[in-house]
Amino acid sequence: MSVDEPNEIRERQLRILEALLFASAEPLSLPEMAPYLGQGPDVRSLVDELQTRYASRGINLVRRGDRWAFRTAEDLGFLLRREEQETRPLSRAALETLAIIAYHQPSTRAEIEEIRGVATGKGTLDLLMEAGWVRMRGRRRTPGRPVTYGTTEAFLDHFGLERLSDLPGLDELKGSGLLSSQIPASMQIPLPFDGSLRDDEDPIDPDDDGDSERAEDE
């Protein structure tokens, strides 16, 4: 092996990663990228190097949960807004439900309704799941075995978050007008749990669409 060969191999691996990430419609995880790179590459090291190379460009390599994707640099996003397809905005009920799930997950439908103070319409959770932002996590080990809901990596990607801990804090929410400045001083934003399952959750059956829970609640 020549002195330059290791560098040539690494450059080829970087080019392969670059091509994979450009071609993929969805963010990719390290295990998904590894098979394309040959035997024994340090995939995370390669991703970190590629991220550094693109840090000052018009597109950046960003992390979304445990996955990676190329996205327009934040300071240039305004240039592409006119190219975005117009979409119907979420209703207030859907926005509130999404926020509750994001901050309080894993949440059951009953817990969402308790926080909102009103019943959650049948279509609200379905709409959020169809958008790909909410998923059924499991079933709570309580009477009725209610479904628990959590956010997805698509939620992180859409809202430009690397991880759930990047969600806005209490001061940021108040500053944006999403929370009243007159809220009690003791109010705290909870720490969401986005692991696979908590101790009080059981895995959900792949064929389970949550209909049994909705039928019981209606």
Residues 177 and 144 grouped into a single domain: yes
pLDDT over 60 at 102, yes or no: yes
* pLDDT on residue 218: 38
Residues 97 and 174 grouped into a single domain: yes
Question: In terms of Cα–Cα distance, which of 178, 189, 120 is closest to 149?
Answer: 120
Residues 70 and 102 grouped into a single domain: no
The overall average pLDDT reported for the chain is 79
Tokens of 35: 């098979």
pLDDT over 80 at 199, yes or no: no
Residues 67 and 107 grouped into a single domain: no
Q: Domain of 27?
A: 5-83
Indicate the pairing of strand 147-151 with strand 107-108: antiparallel
pTM beyond cutoff 0.85? no
Question: In terms of Cα–Cα distance, which of 189, 183, 188, 115 is closest to 149?
Answer: 115
Using DSSP, state whether 61 is helix, strand or coil.
strand
Residues 154 and 197 grouped into a single domain: yes
* pLDDT on residue 17: 93
Residues 52 and 11 grouped into a single domain: yes
**Spatial separation of the C-alpha atoms in residues 161 and 166, rounded to whole Å:** 6
Residues 64 and 114 grouped into a single domain: no
What is the band of 170 on the pLDDT scale with cuts at 50, 70, 90? low
pLDDT over 50 at 217, yes or no: no
Average pLDDT in the 127-139 region?
91
Domain tally, the chain: 2
Of 51, 83, 115, which residue constitutes the final position of a domain? 83
pLDDT, one tens digit per residue, over 7-45 is: 888 899 999 999 999 988 889 999 999 999 887 789 999
Q: Please answer whether residues 70 and 57 qualify as being in contact, where contact means their C-beta atoms are separated by less than 8 angstroms.
A: no
Q: What is the CATH number of the domain that holds 112?
A: 1.10.10.10
Residues 115 and 169 grouped into a single domain: yes
**Spatial separation of the C-alpha atoms in residues 65 and 161, rounded to whole Å:** 8
For every residue of 11-29, DSSP letters joined together read HHHHHHHHHHHHH-SS-EE
Residues 100 and 178 grouped into a single domain: yes
pLDDT over 50 at 214, yes or no: no
Of 83, 101, 119, which residue constitutes the final position of a domain? 83
For every residue of 45-79, DSSP letters joined together read HHHHHHHHHTTTSSEEEEEETTEEEEEE-GGGGGG
What is the band of 49 on the pLDDT scale with cuts at 50, 70, 90? very high
Average pLDDT in the 167-191 region?
58
**Spatial separation of the C-alpha atoms in residues 181 and 183, rounded to whole Å:** 6
**Spatial separation of the C-alpha atoms in residues 81 and 203, rounded to whole Å:** 40
Residues 68 and 165 grouped into a single domain: no
* pLDDT on residue 193: 73
What is the band of 153 on the pLDDT scale with cuts at 50, 70, 90? confident
Residues 31 and 75 grouped into a single domain: yes
Run of H or E residues at 60: strand 59-64
Average pLDDT in the 194-198 region?
74
